[in-house]
Chains A and B, each alone.
Chain A
Amino acid sequence: MDIIEKYGVNISEKQVKDEMKEFGIPVPENVLAETPGEAEVFAEKSGLPVVMKIDSADIKHKTDVGAIKKVHCFENIRESFEELLNNVEDLDADINGVLVEECVEGNEFIAGINNDPQFGKVLMFGLGGIYVEVFEDVVFRPLPVDEKDVRDMLDEIDSGKLLEGVRGQPEADRDKLVEVLMDIAKFGENECIRELDVNPMFVKRNTVKVGDALLELEV
């Protein structure tokens, strides 16, 4: 109930990421900027490019409405800030500000918590990004999971080869990935969480970071 008490049942990406970060799940460095100046200060510190997104609990699919942008040079930050806000102006949405994030890269996986009518909460893991719907290469394990279950999941997906490093990419740190998935599973056990979708989850050598996260809460 703690999360709902804090934010209500409708929760924004920044809020989800704050909660995940507090739980020990790695998210990109970020700031919620209310002015273009705050965005610039963050970009100066973190380096470019940065990803800028409208932070709102009412906008779930940001790409569809032009609420996300990757910005490569400092001079464009201010302009992008205004542009993003303009794009969502006509939507009936409460805007918290612009979420500015360090740009993370890596192979895109998906992880999360689903709610199955027969087995209840299950951990999901698989190939992410736009390939989720193309290949449907995802596997599940009912909660609670142990380390063995999660390691089996990494072996079970068809795209497991991506973790071994193909075409000169370095091998992914499996232990780190297992640790993050175990934390996601534990995070998902919170009774007010109905479903959680982390997509993409970036995996590159020893970095695992939540790219985007959607959280569905229930009382």
Chain B
Amino acid sequence: MSLNEFFEPESIAVVGASNTPGKVGNTVVKNLKETFNGEIFPVNPKHDDINGLKCYSSVKDIKRVPDNVVIAVPAKIANKVVEQCVEIGVPTITMLTSGYEEIGEEGEELQKELEHALKGSETRMIGPNCLGIWVGDSGVDSMFLPGYKMNSPLKGNIALISQSGAVGSAVIDKASSIGVGISKFVSYGNQLDVSETDLLEFLEKDEKTDAVAVYMEGVKNGRKFLEKVKDISKKMPVIVLKSGKTDKGSKAAESHTGSLAGNYKVYRGAFKQAGVVEAECNKELLDYSKTLAKSKKPEGNRVAIVTNGGGFGVLSTDTIEKTELEIAELSEETVKELEKNMKEYGNVSNPLDLIGDAKPQEYRQAMETLVNADEVDMLLCISLVQTEQMDTTFIDVLEDIKNNSDKPVVGSILGGDYSKLHRVYLEKNGVPMFEYPERAVEAFEKLYTYSKWRDERS
């Protein structure tokens, strides 16, 4: 059965809906009421009305079969609700309830019971022990985090699927604060039924998604995952943060989502074989996802750098030397072109230092030349916007260059609150932005190695 009803349902029932603030079932109904345009059916036998909506005593009493049922009641009751959902033919269940195999023996029994309830039916389940789903376009939001504590996610082209709800929600919260938008978020928990591989298969065909970011502790079926991810990597990048790499980490994973973290070295080999872009931490997961989701394909590994601070050029060059990237060697023609607009005391080379008194217009001229030069495959624009000469027109300059070029362009704007405004604005307008240029270089390297893998394998 298709997973479509998880993401674009016409109606959602919330079992365990509540009028008590702080309860999961209260938050979910509240969030859905704000964003979801379809019908919402709260279910709770003790109430007639929840948050102004008619409340039903059981899923069986609802006037139509809901496309999606969110379950937020204790495990023992939850299993009964699942039986009822199967009986009336509910297509999808988002199972927020925890207390299954992740807690040990007692939970394992309950999970077996749950598995039995689903068996043979066409009902699909995400979870249990998950934090829900968020979909930008349809307004589905079964995450039980209160809106006043969390930035609402921005719409964008990155799908995030996470075995851990906490990690996933922290990542999307951070993403929206730095201007990175997402298409879909799924916290998939114990993956009793729907696995990370099923989700990848769905996202592969999702028109709103251009890159998939994954946080995982262990895969359900390594072989199936590998086959799917090899396929999807030929179409769009999959960026994975894998945890449980150490013995102790792997034990922690087992008691967290009940998953076997496995031999990390084998995972690494499998990821490389399948074109997976590996991130080592949450920061990298976001860095790489946004860069790969928003960038054109580079034709080679030669980077040009333009800056108004020589030191940043040196730092970036050092980082480039540690990677598979190269500093582009500028041709005579390019040098001549750049010299036309250079100040007398400037020196044309790569990194190109426009000197501390550079104006946005000088950036524009230099970047137009560099981005059109045959010997340049990628452009990194670094700027200290705190100088007297820089102003907000710099934003238009960088945005124009990035969006009108068929080469990857990223920006790095260093510093505190004032510079952050520039970064967030540009990020929202399609330019991958970094505070530190070293991180921009690392993201470029992943973009390059991924593109190379894709060329070699397609």
Contact = CB atoms under 8 A, between A and B. Distances in A.
5 cross-chain pairs, A with B, having the tightest CB-CB distances, nearest first: A118-B222, A140-B269, A119-B222, A118-B262, A141-B269
Interface residues of B, number: 19
Given A117-B260, A118-B262, A141 B270 contact: yes
Interface of A: 114, 116-120, 122, 138-142, 145, 148-149, 152-153, 156
A145 B273 CA distance: 8
Contact of B265 (A139, A145, A148, A152): A139
Contacts of A118: 218-219, 221-222, 260, 262-263, 266-267
Contacts of A122: 266, 269-270
Nearest to A118: B222
Contacts of B267: 118-119
Nearest to B263: A116
B23 interface: no
Interface of B: 218-219, 221-223, 226, 260, 262-263, 265-270, 272-273, 456-457
Contacts of B226: 119, 142
Q: Which of B266, B268, B269 has the most CB of A within 10 A?
A: B269
Given A118-B221, A118-B267, 6 more contacts: A118-B262, A119-B226, A138-B265, A139-B268, A141-B270, A156-B272
A141 B272 contact: yes
A120 B265 CA distance: 14
Nearest to A138: B265
A149 B273 contact: yes
Contacts of B263: 116, 118, 140
B456 A142 contact: no
Given A116-B266, A119-B266, A156-B272, A148 B222 contact: no
Contact of A152 (B221, B262, B272): B272
A142 B270 contact: yes
A140 B262 contact: no
29 contacts: A114-B266, A116-B222, A116-B266, A117-B222, A117-B262, A118-B218, A118-B219, A118-B221, A118-B222, A118-B260, A119-B226, A119-B262, A119-B266, A120-B223, A140-B263, A140-B265, A140-B268, A140-B269, A141-B269, A141-B270, A142-B269, A142-B273, A145-B273, A148-B456, A148-B457, A149-B272, A149-B273, A152-B272, A156-B272
Contacts of B457: 148
A148 B222 CA distance: 21
A142 B272 contact: no
Nearest to A126: B265
A117 B272 CA distance: 18
A120 B268 CA distance: 14
A152 B271 CA distance: 12
A152 B268 CA distance: 12
Q: Which of A117, A119, A120 has the most CB of B within 10 A?
A: A119
Nearest to B274: A142
B222 A142 contact: yes
A10 to B, nearest CB: 26
Contact of B223 (A119, A148, A153): A119
A145 B270 CA distance: 10
A120 to B, nearest CB: 6
A110 B324 CA distance: 27
A142 B230 CA distance: 12
Contacts of B268: 139-140
A46 B318 CA distance: 54
Nearest to A125: B269
A121 B382 CA distance: 46
A218 to B, nearest CB: 18
Contacts of A153: 269
